[in-house]
């Protein structure tokens, strides 16, 4: 309660403070939920502002947005809405229960009380709410002892079917473990391994799995989480590839994906091209080490994207000279072009491009120094 009031005091013009003021004066019983309460308790700056409303969250969002004047996105079928302002985003949801028709599938949603809503949460540290209504403003409701688990540094599920209902919680548990430096509670770890052994993750859609992998790579400690997944026999990765990830910058996710079966993943063509290049980076480096002529260096690197080429000297510093050589050579314009060959009576058949390539190779290796040298 003290922390929330202090926050409101120091952010008088913030989106959150305007929302607090709205709900204190409104007829709605509303709560700050999950990550906001967790992060505030941990002394961290909350990233997400999630509000649960007992009642119609969409109506509440429309009324609140008259004050915030942001972009309102409404999802009537789910009883949720988002308000996006220049400064912050607020997500609102009606208190609800979720019924799973089958494991790993998205649930059916029904209106409920805040108590029932908390029962559907993933972990105790996310199953806490802080009232932002006038009558009990600032009071924390913590039926699953999430505050105790925060103090102990534990990730704990609420019930034994949690990972079966939603296997994405396996990924989330590992992300939280590494983000906060927590441990996974003993029984929770057993339940997690049981779900993995039952191949519950394989029942998720490719889109949902890809979303979880992207979330992992958005974390500061993504490397630790990837190692945890590998240790649990989920998407195993070799030690050398794991150690390579930090060197790849924003492309690190594509090296990881290149090691998985991603045939069904909704990836763009350019993303798959990067994956293909990264998957061959070891053999590319090996070939470059042996390359002794300019033409060989260029022929190795021509098919590789520039962003992957930039990574090679980070992995193998001794190749920096050859990469610099390629950067200069790729700008060279060929002495002989297609029209020149046609004038000489060369037919444009399947060997035409190969002939042009061989002529450029001679030029790159300085065996031919001018256009006249070809004649």
pLDDT for residue 344: 74
Q: Token digits for 168? A: 């994405």
pLDDT for residue 337: 82
Domains, in order of start, for the chain: 1-152 (3.30.460.10), 155-276 (1.10.3090.10), 280-329 (no CATH), 338-374 (no CATH)
Residue 114 CB neighbour total at 10 angstroms = 19
Instruction: Give yes or no for a contact between 65 and 22, defined as CB atoms under 8 angstroms apart.
Output: no
Residue 375: pLDDT above 80? no
Instruction: Give yes or no for a contact between 106 and 67, defined as CB atoms under 8 angstroms apart.
Output: no
Please state, in angstroms and rounded to a whole number, the distance separating the CA atoms of residues 67 and 320: 57
pLDDT-derived band at 353, boundaries 50, 70, 90: confident
Q: Which of 128-142, 163-177, 285-299, 329-343 has the lowest average pLDDT?
A: 329-343
Task: Provide the residue count of the chain.
Answer: 375
Q: Token digits for 38? A: 């967790």
Residue 70: pLDDT above 80? yes
Looking at per-residue confidence, does 108 or 173 come out higher? 173
Q: What rounded mean pLDDT belongs to the chain?
A: 90
Q: What percent of the chain is predicted at pLDDT more than 90?
A: 70
pLDDT for residue 334: 86
Reported as half-sphere exposure (CB side, CA atoms, 13 A), residue 287 has a value of: 13
Q: CA 304, 305, 310 angle in degrees (round to 5)?
A: 100
Please state, in angstroms and rounded to a whole number, the distance separating the CA atoms of residues 372 and 335: 9
State pLDDT tens for residues 6-28. 444 434 458 899 999 999 999 99
pLDDT for residue 373: 64
Provide mean pLDDT across the span 182-200. 97
Please state, in angstroms and rounded to a whole number, the distance separating the CA atoms of residues 359 and 335: 8
pLDDT for residue 1: 38
Nearest to 53, CA basis, from 114, 110, 109:
114
Instruction: Give yes or no for a contact between 16 and 88, defined as CB atoms under 8 angstroms apart.
Output: yes
Provide mean pLDDT across the span 163-186. 97
Please state, in angstroms and rounded to a whole number, the distance separating the CA atoms of residues 145 and 143: 6
Can you tell me whether residue 154 is helix, strand or coil? strand
Residue 314: pLDDT above 60? yes
215-221, long-range: CB within 8 Å, 24+ apart, which pairs?
215/171, 215/175, 216/171, 216/174, 216/175, 217/252, 217/253, 217/256, 219/175, 219/178, 219/179, 220/179, 221/178, 221/179
Provide mean pLDDT across the span 220-229. 98
Provide mean pLDDT across the span 335-356. 79
State pLDDT tens for residues 54-66. 999 999 999 999 9
């Amino acid at each position: 309660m003290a922390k929330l009031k202090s926050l409101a005091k120091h952010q008088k013009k913030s989106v959150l403070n305007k929302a607090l003021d709205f709900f204190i004066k409104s007829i709605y019983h509303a709560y700050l939920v999950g990550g906001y309460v967790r992060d505030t308790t941990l002394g961290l700056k909350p990233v997400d502002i999630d509000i649960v409303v007992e009642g119609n969250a969409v109506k509440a969002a429309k009324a609140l947005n008259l004050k915030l004047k942001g972009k309102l996105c409404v999802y009537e079928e789910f009883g949720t809405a988002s308000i996006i302002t220049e400064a912050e985003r607020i997500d609102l949801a009606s208190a609800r229960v979720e019924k799973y028709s089958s494991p790993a599938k998205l649930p059916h949603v029904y209106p409920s009380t805040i108590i029932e809503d908390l029962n559907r949460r993933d972990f105790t540290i996310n199953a806490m709410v802080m009232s932002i209504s006038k009558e009990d403003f600032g009071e924390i409701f913590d039926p699953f002892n999430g505050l105790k688990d925060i103090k102990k540094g534990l990730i704990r599920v609420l019930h034994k079917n949690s990972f079966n209902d939603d296997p994405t919680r396996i990924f989330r548990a590992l992300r939280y473990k590494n983000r906060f430096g927590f441990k996974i509670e003993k029984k929770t770890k057993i339940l997690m391994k049981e779900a993995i052994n039952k191949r519950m993750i394989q029942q998720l859609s490719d889109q949902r799995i890809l979303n979880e992998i992207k979330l992992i790579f958005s974390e500061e400690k993504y490397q630790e989480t990837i190692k945890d997944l590998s240790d649990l026999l989920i998407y195993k990765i070799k030690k050398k590839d794991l150690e390579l990830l930090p060197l790849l910058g924003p492309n690190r996710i594509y090296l990881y994906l290149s090691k998985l079966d991603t045939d069904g993943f909704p990836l763009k063509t350019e993303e798959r091209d990067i994956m293909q290049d990264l998957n061959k980076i070891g053999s590319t480096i090996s070939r470059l080490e042996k390359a002794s002529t300019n033409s060989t260096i260029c022929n190795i690197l021509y098919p590789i994207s520039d962003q992957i080429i930039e990574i090679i000297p980070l992995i193998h510093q001794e190749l920096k000279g050859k990469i610099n050589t390629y950067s200069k050579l790729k700008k060279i314009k060929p002495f002989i072009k297609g029209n020149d060959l046609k004038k000489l009576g060369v037919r444009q058949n399947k060997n035409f491009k190969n002939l042009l390539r061989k002529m450029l190779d001679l030029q790159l290796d300085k065996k031919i120094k001018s256009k006249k040298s070809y004649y």
